[in-house]
Amino acid sequence: MLIFKALHILSMFAAVTFLIGEALLYARAISRGDVADLATVRRLVGGRPLFGVAFLMSGIVFGLLAALTGEIDLFEGWLIAAYVLVVAMFLVNASPWVQRLPTLGQEAIEAVAGQRPVEEVVTAMAASRRGILVVVALNVLLFVAVIADMVLKPF
């Protein structure tokens, strides 16, 4: 049904906006070693990306409903590719680097408030910089791949 397709697209658009936006803000602050920026990102985003994940999950549900009501075979090659890419996204986001972001952000808030040495946070940011940049790049590539798969339906 067309309404489920529209809700799927709108939900996924919102999910990409929230999730990639958050990841890019964290990556920028960490790559610059800017504790104040990292604290600001953490305050803006909160502990976990609840809105982004909620939109992603609702987008998945609406996508399945669109396929089922639109008589689309759930085992089409392009849909299987999308399933694999989404699972890969979940695995990337379960990585220690991504899971460390809220804690690192909280440490930055504490450093800005004078409750923790700033140098300690700068050191932690430097130690996780490469891993963070890799997972952010992977997330962007995975989202681009899913979008391309959904639009082009290459399989």
* Rounded-to-integer distance, Cα 130 and Cα 124, Å: 12
Q: For residue 31, name the pLDDT band (cuts at 50, 70, 90).
A: very high
pLDDT tens per residue across span 73-103: 999 999 999 999 999 999 999 999 899 999 9
* Rounded-to-integer distance, Cα 22 and Cα 147, Å: 19
| Alpha-carbon separation of residue 59 from 33, 75, 143 (angstroms) | 34, 18, 13
pLDDT tens per residue across span 34-45: 999 999 999 998
Buried b (16+ CB within 10 A) or exposed e, 46-64: eeebebbeebbebbbebbe
Average pLDDT for 48-60? 92
Domain count, the chain: 1
Contacts of 19 (CB under 8 A, 6+ apart): 49, 52, 53, 56, 139, 143
Q: What is the pTM of this model?
A: 0.86
Domain boundaries, position 11: 2-152
- pLDDT in the model for residue 1: 84
pLDDT tens per residue across span 114-125: 999 999 999 999
Tell how far CA 86 is from the center of its chain: 11
* Rounded-to-integer distance, Cα 67 and Cα 15, Å: 19
Nearest Cα neighbor of 86 from 21, 23, 15 is: 15
Average pLDDT for 30-56? 92
* Rounded-to-integer distance, Cα 106 and Cα 42, Å: 7
